Amino acid sequence: MTEDYSKRIERAARAIYDSKKLVIGAGAGLSAAAGLEYNGRRFTENFKPFIEKYEMQDLYTSSFYPFNTQEEKWAYWARHISLNRYETQVTELYQELLELVSSKEYFVITTNVESQFEKAGFEKAKIFEVQGNYAWLQCGTACHDKLYYNEQIISGMLEQISDCRIPSYLVPKCPFCGGNMEVNLRKDKYFVQDNNWYNSESNYEKFIYLTKDKPTVFLELGVGYNTPGIIRFPFEIMVKANHHAVLIRINRDYLNGMRENEGSTVSFCEDMMTVIKDLKSSQIRTAINSSVVSME
């Protein structure tokens, strides 16, 4: 990253302006930059009883806590899902991102599971949530592939939490096999991919096919190395294969990628909100200047 910030902004904004297709790949770093942090005050203020009882450290590691009972487990998960999916409204960063790309033919692939893209107004048919979504429950052993919207279920649990437990009658059970239910998150071999998941995957693959040999921007936001095979590595490979493609990577910690793509990559480690807003402003200037040139 040898160019100064303003030159990188201009270069990236021009790439977006010139692109025919725009693919957004979003990881946990985007939601963290938007304020959906899994540690710090947001965690300590909302999970005090669970921290005191189970010595939890943050929202990520506590998701793997080995609860002794389903009553304890669902008391925690009711609070976790409610905070991240239902109580948290759309964030400014996601809204700014939509304004940046709304004039382009875009598609979103994300490992985030809290529905911020949909809340911000991104078209649902243009979003592929690979890892699932907090709003849905599934059979814990995937005995069938139906998902169950959980807003009312979670609300009912929250009203009945006592000493970090819910009553036994509120523990969700699979209506087919009678076994335990799980949140529809990719955490083991039982993750359910329903028809909507496969339709989203198909829409994404069709969109990617249409980017071949076309001016395309791959906008990678906060994607690290927890699951690099979903977004990070495929983006690198597709940019390498398309001489008309540009990778714009915004990442606080992990900027480096394939050496072969150095000339096709514009990287930012700066504050994500600042970068998105500056890209927006620069893109407007680029459009105005291009219009003036065409009139001449």
pLDDT, residue 293, reads: 47
Query: Looking at the domain 5-36+90-130+193-295, which fold is it?
Result: Rossmann fold (3.40.50)
Domain boundaries along the sequence of the chain:
5-36+90-130+193-295, 40-87+134-185
> What are the tens digits of pLDDT across the range 137-195?
999 999 999 999 999 999 999 999 999 999 999 999 999 999 999 999 999 999 999 99
Q: Determine contact, residues 95/118, Cβ cutoff 8 Å.
A: no
* Equal fold, 5-36+90-130+193-295 vs 40-87+134-185: no
Distance CA 132, CA 88 (A): 18
> What are the tens digits of pLDDT across the range 102-130?
999 999 999 999 999 999 999 999 999 99
Distance CA 243, CA 195 (A): 35
Residue 1: pLDDT band (50, 70, 90) is low
Say whether pTM exceeds 0.85: yes
Distance CA 149, CA 153 (A): 8
Q: Which CATH class is domain 40-87+134-185?
A: alpha beta
Half-sphere exposure of 177 (CA within 13 A, CB side): 12
> What are the tens digits of pLDDT across the range 191-211?
999 999 999 999 999 999 999
| Higher per-residue confidence, 59 vs 296 | 59
Distance CA 45, CA 51 (A): 10
Does 295 have pLDDT greater than 70?
no
